[in-house]
């Protein structure tokens, strides 16, 4: 007879029920760790207008009946992600915009463009200037301070690399004729140029209506060397902006930095049209360590098509052997503006190659 036969099938097992026993929780967390983040299905989309000491001014319901500004901070999981002016952010929390409230940015929508610069040409770390801009307006003075062709080239390279359309405003044309300076950019057939001048010693008279027409429906980032009149132009386009204006040092010939932060301002043409003016601090250097030179060539669509017949690794510079573009221009196969287009392309490529080579 086995001892198993002593088991009573009818015995009450309730004494052994452990379902009511309290298990001590994880000392570090009551819930197991997970990499899954909240979906934030209730998040609202807002445009980032400016950044100040870790606080983001954003615009909710842009163009809608409930449009208003909200102050927000970033969520901890975004601490390593750059959030910049022009970004379209997902925000949660108190989005009323009332005094004393603070929403939270929990995500960034996919960007259509990124305008970037590096500290210098050897620095591969990118400094994102603005997101989702589709135009860049370069402001340069014909004199006082003297126009810096190489700096303008760098602006154009950064714009072409980002897929952003460049525009240009030349101020103070009463002090010098900008014709020779502008001849360097004649091959950029899509470059729209505006000029302004002081009349009878008065204030700078800018073609505000013409410039404004080019801004409607676009997000345009304004860049320029200090002292060229960029802040003056911004104030003329957006009177409520009140951007500080400065002067040029008569000894050094340099302008004083007046805009200290990047900010988005709405332009209204008074006839129902609007756009975004993104003002940036004046810079004296513009590193291109992040640039892909292929993007410069792609901006010259007609030449890029010819370049498909170039040898592998062709620089397209004047001394490049068997360059298909150079040969096409010499043989007249690149059209009436081919020579000017090639000259502009080579100028930009040479600026990039020379400066990067100097630091290597």
In whole angstroms, what is the distance from residue 337 CA to residue 329 CA?
9
Cα 276 from chain centroid? Answer: 13
Which token pair is 112?
């259509």
Bond into 98 cis (ω within 30): no
pLDDT at 135 over 90: yes
In whole angstroms, what is the distance from residue 82 CA to residue 105 CA?
12
Label residue 263 by pLDDT band (50, 70, 90).
very high
Residue 282's closest CA among 237, 245, 330? Answer: 245
Token pair 């302008």 is at which residue?
Answer: 255
Q: Strands 204-205 and 219-224: what pairing? A: unpaired
pLDDT of residue 132: 97
How many percent of the chain have pLDDT more than 70? 79
Label residue 304 by pLDDT band (50, 70, 90).
very high
pLDDT at 255 over 50: no
Residue 135's closest CA among 170, 160, 109? Answer: 160
pLDDT digits (tens, 9 = 90+) for 74-91: 999 998 899 999 999 999
Residues 215-236: what's their mean pLDDT? 93
pLDDT of residue 127: 79
Which token pair is 24?
């001590």
Label residue 250 by pLDDT band (50, 70, 90).
very low
Backbone angles phi, psi at 126, to 5 degrees: -85, 140
Which position has the higher pLDDT, 141 or 33? 141
Contact 219, 265 (CB under 8 A): no
Contact 172, 229 (CB under 8 A): yes
Helix pair angle (338-359, 149-162), 10° resolution: 100
Residue 87's closest CA among 99, 72, 67? Answer: 72
Measure the N-to-C terminal CA separation of the chain; round to a whole number of Å.
93
In whole angstroms, what is the distance from residue 186 CA to residue 194 CA?
14
Beta bridge partner(s), residue 118: 287
pLDDT of residue 157: 86
pLDDT of residue 32: 58
In whole angstroms, what is the distance from residue 91 CA to residue 219 CA?
21
């Amino acid at each position: 007879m086995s001892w198993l036969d002593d088991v009573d099938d009818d015995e009450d097992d309730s004494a052994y029920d452990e379902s009511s026993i309290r298990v001590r929780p994880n000392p570090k967390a009551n819930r197991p760790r997970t990499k899954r983040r909240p979906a934030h299905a209730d998040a609202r989309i807002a445009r980032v207008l400016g950044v100040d000491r870790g606080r983001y001014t954003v615009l909710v319901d842009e163009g809608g009946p409930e449009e208003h500004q909200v102050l927000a901070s970033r969520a901890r999981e975004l601490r390593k992600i750059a959030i910049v002016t022009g970004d379209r952010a997902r925000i949660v929390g108190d989005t009323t915009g009332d005094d004393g409230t603070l929403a939270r940015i929990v995500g960034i929508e996919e960007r259509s463009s990124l305008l970037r610069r590096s500290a210098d040409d050897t620095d591969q770390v990118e400094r994102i200037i603005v997101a989702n801009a589709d135009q860049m307006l370069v402001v340069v003075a014909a004199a006082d301070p003297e126009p810096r062709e190489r700096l303008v080239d760098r602006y154009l390279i950064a714009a072409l690399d980002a897929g952003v359309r460049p525009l240009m405003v030349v101020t103070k044309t009463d002090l010098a004729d900008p014709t020779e300076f502008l001849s360097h950019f004649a091959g950029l057939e899509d470059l729209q140029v505006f000029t302004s001048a002081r009349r009878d010693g008065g204030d700078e008279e800018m073609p505000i209506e013409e410039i404004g027409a080019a801004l409607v429906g676009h997000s345009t980032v304004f860049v320029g060397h200090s002292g060229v009149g960029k802040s003056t132009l911004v104030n003329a386009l957006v009177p409520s902006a009140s951007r500080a204006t400065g002067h040029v040092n008569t000894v050094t010939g340099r302008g004083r930095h007046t805009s200290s932060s990047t900010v988005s301002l709405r332009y209204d043409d008074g006839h129902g049209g609007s756009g975004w003016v993104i003002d940036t601090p004046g810079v004296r250097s513009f590193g291109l360590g992040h640039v892909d030179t292929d993007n410069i060539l792609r901006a010259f669509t007609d030449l890029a098509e010819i370049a498909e017949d170039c040898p592998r690794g062709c620089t397209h510079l004047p001394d490049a052997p068997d360059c298909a573009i150079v040969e096409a221009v010499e043989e007249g196969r690149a059209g009436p503006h081919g020579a000017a287009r090639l000259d502009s392309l080579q100028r930009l490529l040479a600026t990039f190659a020379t400066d990067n080579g100097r630091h290597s």
